[in-house]
Amino acid sequence: MINTKRLKENYIMSYLSMYSNDPKLNVWHLSILTAILGLGYRQGQRRRIKVSRSKIMELSHVNTLPTYHKYFKQLQDLGYIKYTPSYHPGYKSEVKLCKKRLSQNI
């Protein structure tokens, strides 16, 4: 039987390895990405993760809205995440982690 916990850990490590090799990412980018990965791990989701701004900010220790929005937007622009807002207070928004950057020329 394959150890599912080990598979999840390998999955997380593959993303962290990809992130850490990009000189364009700073501590705030990595903190937000790690928070999203943590939410995905808790939800048992690999790519499509239900998120809320408040939860990401709490887990990433980003304390101000301008900082959060700046780096979250940059992650979208760099192609690391694809964000789908829900626009409904009862439903969480969704972040899709991209295994490879969508935009290589930024």
* pLDDT band (50, 70, 90) for residue 4: low
- Contacts of 33-40 with CB under 8 Å at 24 or more apart are 33/75, 33/80, 33/81, 34/59, 34/60, 35/59, 35/60, 36/81, 36/95, 36/97, 37/12, 37/97, 40/97
User: Mind listing the pLDDT tens digit for each residue in 23-63?
Assistant: 999 999 999 999 999 999 899 888 899 999 999 999 999 99
* pLDDT band (50, 70, 90) for residue 106: very low
What is residue 45's predicted lDDT score, i.e. its pLDDT? Answer: 86
- Residue 103 in any domain: the answer is no
Number of domains the chain is built from:
1
- Residue 105 in any domain: the answer is no
- Residue 105, pLDDT > 90, answer no
Domain containing 84 equals 4-97
Q: What are phi and psi of 95, to 5 degrees?
A: -115, 130
CATH label of the domain that carries residue 74: 1.10.10
